[in-house]
Amino acid sequence: RREDRGGNDTIMATKSSGLSTLQKRIVIGAFLGTFFVNVGRRDLNSVLSSFLEDLNLQKTQYGILGSCLSASFALSKLFGGVIADTYATPIVMIRVALLIAGLASVLFSMTSSFYLFTLYWTLNGIAQGISWIPVAKLLGRYFHESERATYWAIASSAQTLGGASIAIIGGWSASIYGWRDTMLSCGIIIVLSAFMVNYLWKETDSIEKSGFESPQKSKLEEEGSDSRTHVAPVNTVQLVFSNPNSWLLAIAAFSLYIVRTTILDWVVLILIEEKGQDTVAASSCIFWFEISGFIGGFVSSVLSDRVWLGNRIPILMYFSVGCVLTSVAFWMSSSTSYLANVGLLSLLGFFVYCPQTLIGVAATEIVDKTATGTILGLVGAFSGTGAVFAGVPVGWIREFYGWNSVYICIISFSTVMTVMFIIVHSSVFQQQKRRGD
């Protein structure tokens, strides 16, 4: 019996060690996949001047390309989430996303037809929309809720780093080699990255068959039912759409992306026209907004893991209140001081990027793990719609009602986001109380 017990202990130790190794591979693959897919999203921006000048295109035509990408991004989020829960495994989805994003850049570099530009950039939007879903599913499946947000923040930081890297390298490359060679090179590298992530994640499809267990049990398992005895498939769409908290978080995401995208798209002009800043100073304020947001996302993620022990909603509430108060302070401030404006925008970025980082984590944790892709799709679709609203509609509001209306828009949607988090927090608290009773 002692020998048997020792053998079992050895097996358990091997399994534990294997899972730890797999977790590292998942995080590295998530970071690399997110990094390179965002290179594909931003590579056109980095060569934009050369692209428009070479083909004699108007900025409005570039705007059409951006709108096509945003629209296909939002739609693919929704449908991609459902597909991820019912048909495709994470490794298949990330492979498809990277291959499409890479091929879109390659094909884009080889044509001069605006119609083909539109087609390829729409395909790129589809790739961007489905790329985060497999990352989120694996992080949710193989990391405990007390550590999940920290690794989620590490993976999502690749979005910022990927965009920043291609902005610098792509601009330099375009000035020397031209926009076509730059986008062609980016596309080839992105395609190759699909094989790299495939290698890192190759064990995930068969991991449960090998005897490993996910740290995250589904709600069905937690309630005492054996998932292996469930032969009837779970209707993930019904599971998500019938949950009021899903819609509340989706509305919060819609509001969040209006706030974030409005700041990124319009604050430079606000700083120049309203706050007395020159172009360089105004642009640097956005840089510090992003850097502070990067820090805020990490800080909030670690706090939600270590202090709130995996409960995301309280810190989402507190940071969204901070977003409202800082937005009001930015509106009320009449200072033309660079330090005052960069300080307020840095603080605003710190508060905005908490929900930016954690809202997806919170969404996956309010439903059964079998429906994480579907709820990420729903929240992502609302996010994309919010980003679209922050473009032309906010521009129209500014044109007819002035900059004060843009301030009010930011404050109003920050408030809506806060109210949504408060309602979700109350709902989750009542559910936990009923389980305790």
Residue 380 near residue 81 (C-beta atoms within 8 A): yes
pTM for the full predicted model: 0.76
Q: How many residues does the chain have?
A: 437
Residue stretches of the chain with pLDDT short of 70 = 1-19, 59, 205-234, 435-437
Query: For residue 216, what is the DSSP state?
Result: S
Label residue 178 left, alpha or beta by phi (over 0 means left) and psi (-120 to 50 means alpha): left
> Tens digit of pLDDT for each residue in 106-137?
999 999 999 999 999 999 999 999 999 999 88
Question: Tell me, what's the pLDDT at 217?
Answer: 53
Q: What is the CA radius of gyration of the chain?
A: 23
- The torsion of the CA quartet 305, 306, 307, 308, rounded to 10 degrees, works out to 30
Question: pLDDT tens digit string along 313-354?
Answer: 999 999 999 999 999 999 999 888 999 999 999 999 999 999
What is the model's pLDDT at position 221? 46
Tell me if 155 sits within 8 A of 77, measured CB to CB: no
Q: What pLDDT is attached to residue 318?
A: 95
Residues 373, 236: Cα–Cα separation, whole Å:
9
Structure tokens at 237: 């769409």
pLDDT of residue 57: 84
Measure the CA–CA gap between 379 and 228, rounded to whole angstroms: 29
